[in-house]
Chains A and B, each alone.
Chain A
Amino acid sequence: MKQVYQKLDVSKKSSVEMPSKVLLVDDEKEFVLTLSERLQIRDMGTAIVYDGKSALDLVRNDAPEVMIIDLKMPGIDGMEILKEVKQSRSEIEVIVLTGHGSGQDRKKCMDMGAFAYMQKPVNINILSETLKKAHEKIKTGK
């Protein structure tokens, strides 16, 4: 399966500060579609999948730079995706964005190597800031 990272053609020039390949994984369609559009407005290339299995497929075929994943999803849940991604493709940065979240979950995710753990509803500016930081980390890491 191949997914195209879409980009809004508002600004023609690709920003170097923002990640161009962001994969959004969430089963809440309305949420993730809107979020994707807003990230595209903010000069990011995004792709969307609605379940864990397609997310992992996509990671294998066309690796994203940064992933934003929900924890609670039917089938393969966020924790498993995080574990899998960090084991096979540790260069991908993962941001956990969830409406369910306890301190234990946060600790577990951070221990597994998540870049950040954020709770819904999230402020778009804070999210973009985090994505920017993740992008910077990848760039300096290279």
Chain B
Amino acid sequence: MKRLKKLKPAFWDHRDIAGSHSHTTFNFRRKWKLLVLFTSFMALLPLFVMTLVDFSLTRRIIEDEVESSMSKILSSAAASISFSKDLKKSALDYIVHSDAGEDNDIFVVNEDGALLTPSFYYGRPGTSDIFNVNLFNENSGIEEDVTPKGKPVIAGYARIPDTSLIFVLVKSKKWLTDLWLKPRLKLVWYLAVSIVLILLSIMGTATYLVGRIHSTDRKRTEALRHAEYAKKLASIGRLASGVAHEINNPLAIINQKTGLILDLFTLREDFSSDDRLIPLANDVLDAVTRCGGITRRLLDFARHMEPSIEPVDIGEVVGQVLAFLKKDAERQSITISVDNQDVIPDFECDKGSLQQIFLNLIENAFAAMEDGGQLTISIKLKEKDKLTITVSDNGSGISIEDIDKIFEPFYSSKDDHWGTGLGLSITYGLIKEIGGDIMVKSSLGKGTRFTLTIPITAGTDNGR
């Protein structure tokens, strides 16, 4: 059963997870069946016709052969008898000398159908009316008959010249079928082998072709999805930066006005009596600073939607992403510990890609963890030009069956309406794009650990 599963092509169980986009749906299994059916029909039809023609041809040849061999025996017998003077005697002599049996039953009958010599099929001599002589309306010929015991036979006959006697050679029909069986068996064998071969090759070709269509279709959908996702991200980025920009202006006004109030408080004596006013103004300024931090982060994030290679500090990138997800972490009361003891030089990389990678991984970790989970990120310089970063959680883990598929697009363990199933596949693509690698280790119920390897381009150590 397992081996059969391996043979099963990938498209067999294909279901369009992205069902909402119906223009990409394509029933591969049905297409495959149709293709196989149609091609098989077209290939097997001529084969069957040819075999039938051959069958009837062979049958006729064999029948002809039987006929000719029987009539040869009969005519030669008749001829040899006709040369002698006492026809009756020599006929009897001939019969006696020839060995009658199941295969060759030779006997003589008179015109009334009475046996003159013993016959294997028709009994002792003297039995009259046993043979339907009316069958024999010519000098010689071959007819089909049924023995008194109900056995189908073929009877060859020849009238002995100048007498009323008829010389009969009866052969069992079984003999004929035996003769016929061999070529027929051969034919059937040939047909069966051909059918199997043709069906196998048709199925193979169809599987290959449909498989190819399936994989191309998949790749196309994947690319489409990727583009769509990127577009979505880009427009979210544009929205975020627009909002941030627009908020920055009124924020600046609040900032300056409050600052002026504060200036006036400190400059003029009139307000010094109330010692609550200055701290209040300072609180407003603090809030403005906080808002400024938010808009700056939004802008920072939006900016990196467009790829640009620049020197990056990996610790800073991780810090930014964590700052972005701080609220989520607090809501789930997840403890985050970052271990970046190593001195890591800045390196040339697309900051946006790195942010996206960490955002996806950390978000996934959050989704896998219960409240009060523990997320550990460690950044280590394993080799001179290779960075190893591990992101490990103590969440629900990934089962062995799923772990091979998690980087595949459209694969999602979350409810379908929750995730696009693209997060990790995009992460994978981004890591490959920056020349890195990603590995995953997981055990159910204990947690998951993603290990990233990112190359650091040499010579940009102090790139800033």
Contacts and interface: CB of A to CB of B under 8 A. Distances in A.
Given A100-B245, A102-B299, A121-B288, A38 B259 contact: yes
- The contact size tier of chain B is 20 to 34
A119 B248 CA distance: 9
Interface in A33-76: 34-35, 37-38, 41, 72
A99 B253 CA distance: 11
* Most chain B beta-carbon contacts within 10 A, residue among A10, A28, A99, A121: A121
Contact of B248 (A34, A99, A123): A99
A121 B263 contact: no
B184 interface: no
B311 to A, nearest CB: 12
A99 B256 contact: no
A99 B257 CA distance: 16
A72 B248 CA distance: 12
Nearest to B246: A99
A38 B256 contact: yes
Contacts of B253: 28, 30-31, 34
A121 B245 contact: no
B249 interface: yes
Contacts of B376: none
Interface string B69-87: 0000000000000000000
B256 A31 contact: yes
B277 interface: no
B289 to A, nearest CB: 8
B269 to A, nearest CB: 13
B260 A121 contact: no
B252 A120 contact: yes
Contacts of A35: 256
B260 A120 contact: no
A122 interface: yes
A119 B251 CA distance: 11
Given A10-B267, A38-B263, A119-B296, A102 B303 contact: yes
A103 B312 CA distance: 13
A124 interface: yes
A113 interface: no
A122 B249 CA distance: 11
A102 B253 CA distance: 21
Interface string B232-260: 00000000010001101101111111011
28 contacts: A10-B267, A28-B249, A31-B249, A31-B252, A31-B253, A34-B253, A34-B257, A34-B259, A38-B260, A38-B263, A41-B263, A41-B267, A99-B246, A100-B245, A100-B248, A101-B299, A102-B241, A102-B303, A119-B248, A120-B249, A120-B251, A120-B252, A121-B256, A121-B288, A121-B291, A122-B252, A124-B256, A124-B259
Interface of A: 10, 28, 30-31, 34-35, 37-38, 41, 72, 99-103, 119-124
Given A121-B248, A121-B289, 5 more contacts: A34-B259, A34-B260, A120-B292, A121-B251, A121-B256
